């Protein structure tokens, strides 16, 4: 596979924090502009703008998972956590249902692959966490474009 196939998982919390932060900054500026001579408006406006700026900065720091297949390699990236698997080692995949979806990969024999855990919380895990807003159909479409069959249609099982 020479083309790059990429899926960036949406994160609702990130969008909410960004929009709320920018709205609070704007509200703080409006509060100061309404009556710039009164100390209460200035204090309220500055506090609102500072809280909004902090919320927006925190929203920018939230890392979303990125799935990518290119140059014969499957790559999962979430911030500093990166998993790279040679494309020929992947036999199939499955999507775990739940509030926060996860992606599991199987080897060519049909056994789940194990990955190192995020932030050393466990010794290993058999899935890669996605976000709650990630639709299973979108993951299935991405994997179909990458050429990885679902577990129920795996050639080895």
Range of the domain at 36: 10-61
Region 68-79: mean pLDDT is: 87
pLDDT of 154: 44
pLDDT of 125: 77
Residue 78: pLDDT band (50, 70, 90) is: confident
23 and 96 together in one domain:
no
Asked if residues 156 and 149 have their Cβ atoms less than 8 Å apart, the reply is: no
111 and 132 together in one domain:
yes
Q: What is the mean pLDDT of the chain?
A: 85
Q: 36 pLDDT exceeds 70?
A: yes
Residue 139, in any domain of the structure: yes
80 and 149 together in one domain:
yes
Domain boundary among 61, 79, 94: 61
100 and 149 together in one domain:
yes
131 and 74 together in one domain:
yes
pLDDT of 156: 46
pLDDT of 56: 96
Domain boundary among 36, 61, 86: 61
pLDDT of 33: 94
Residue 1, in any domain of the structure: no
Exposed/middle/buried for 73, CB within 10 Å: 0-12, 13-18, 19+?
middle
Distance CA 125, CA 133 (A): 21
Please give the residue that has the higher pLDDT: either 90 or 125: 90
81 and 117 together in one domain:
yes
Residue 120: pLDDT band (50, 70, 90) is: low
130 and 85 together in one domain:
yes
Q: 153 pLDDT exceeds 60?
A: no
For the chain, the straight-line distance linking the first and the last C-alpha, in angstroms and rounded, comes to 24
Q: 157 pLDDT exceeds 60?
A: no
Asked if residues 44 and 31 have their Cβ atoms less than 8 Å apart, the reply is: yes
Asked if residues 84 and 74 have their Cβ atoms less than 8 Å apart, the reply is: yes
pLDDT of 1: 47
108 and 41 together in one domain:
no
Residue 120, in any domain of the structure: yes
Taking the complete model, does pTM exceed 0.85, yes or no?
no
Q: 37 pLDDT exceeds 80?
A: yes
In the numeric block, the tokens 């179909």 are attached to 144
Helix 12-34 × helix 39-61 angle, to 10°: 160
75 and 113 together in one domain:
yes
Q: Which range (55-59, 71-75, 109-113, 118-122) has the least confidence?
A: 118-122
């Amino acid at each position: 596979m020479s083309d790059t196939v990429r899926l960036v998982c949406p994160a609702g919390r990130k969008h909410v924090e960004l929009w709320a932060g920018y709205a609070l900054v704007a509200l703080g500026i409006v509060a100061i502009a309404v009556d710039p001579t009164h100390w209460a408006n200035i204090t309220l406006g500055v506090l609102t703008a500072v809280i909004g700026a902090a919320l927006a900065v925190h929203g920018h720091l939230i890392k979303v998972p990125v799935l990518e297949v290119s140059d014969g390699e499957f790559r999962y990236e979430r911030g500093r956590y990166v998993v790279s698997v040679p494309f020929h080692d992947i036999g199939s995949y499955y999507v775990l249902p739940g509030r926060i979806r996860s992606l599991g990969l199987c080897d060519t024999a049909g056994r789940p692959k194990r990955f190192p855990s995020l932030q050393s919380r466990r010794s290993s895990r058999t899935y890669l966490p996605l976000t709650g807003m990630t639709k299973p159909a979108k993951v299935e479409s991405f994997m179909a474009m990458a050429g990885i069959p679902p577990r129920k249609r795996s050639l080895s099982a």
